[in-house]
Amino acid sequence: MTETKTVMTNAAWRAEGARRFGTDDIMQWKFRCVSCGTESSPADFEKVNADPRRAPHECIGRHLKPVMHIDGNSKPCNWTAGGMFRLSSVVEIEGIEGKPTLAFPFADYIGGEPA
């Protein structure tokens, strides 16, 4: 099985976020966890006293206690884009000074409305 990965420049990623969410305010953008499908924004992270800069990279479940689910299929989870197991739907963003960053894909919104 061949793994596919989306690679974007930082400028292209920011432009796509602004297009999808109708604003360039990243605090309003939503990201979809590749493991459980939970959608959350940096503003959601702030509401649970978590660093909003982590929203593109971590499921909000990492910041809610407890995160252990008996059935193993509950939401939200504790997945991270840069963890040991990398799923192909993770986006690689070309970072500053050539250091790439892994992020969850955007939630399905177009022009600020759910798609």
The DSSP bridge pattern shows strands 91-94 and 39-40 to be unpaired
SS3 61: helix
Confidence (pTM): 0.81
Q: Going residue by residue through the chain (115 aa), what tens digit of pLDDT does each one get?
A: 344 568 889 899 999 999 999 999 999 999 999 888 899 999 999 999 999 999 999 999 888 876 555 555 567 888 888 766 655 567 888 876 677 888 899 998 766 666 6
